[in-house]
Amino acid sequence: MSNARILVVDDSELFRKECIDMLRKSGEPWEVIEAPGGAEGIKAVSSRDVDIILLDINMPDIDGFRFLAIVEDKFPNIPVIVVTARRERKDITRCMELGAVDFIEKPFYQEDLVARVRARLRDKTRVDTLKSQVAVRRKKSRPSEGEAP
């Protein structure tokens, strides 16, 4: 999924800009969009096709935990990587239970971020391909109109 759209949701403008810069320097033709908080992030994912989300936990309006719950409920096919300074085991566990596919502690290296985004996009491509194949097989196995089951 080389032309993926990545949404970065974090209330820190400095972090968003650094993250966007790291992703753009990767050499991948990714489109990176940003949201300065959870509410704006939900609006962005609701109105645009997003392939993966990078999410902070500590945000003033809708925190990362609530954001994860909303995305898992409304957009379960979009992988979310939590990127946060929080290091407590209970936070990591809660994020994963709420649907996060990965967890990166701040600060981090560009190579780590890019590698994890690539890996999760590969996973998403595989899952999407399998779902398409299953849908085609189901359609082929159904009797056509007028045919006996």
Greater pLDDT, 146 or 55? 55
According to the model, what pLDDT value does residue 1 have? 57
Domain limits of the chain?
Answer: 5-141
The rounded distance, in Å, linking the Cα atoms of 22 and 81 is 15
Phi and psi torsions of 61, nearest 5°: -90, -70
The whole-number pLDDT of residue 103 equals: 95
Per-residue model confidence (pLDDT) at position 148: 59
136 pLDDT exceeds 90? no
CATH tag for 5-141 (out of 3.40.50.2300, 3.40.50.1580, 3.30.1300.30, 3.40.605.10): 3.40.50.2300
Euclidean distance between the first and the last CA atom of the chain, given in angstroms as a whole number: 39
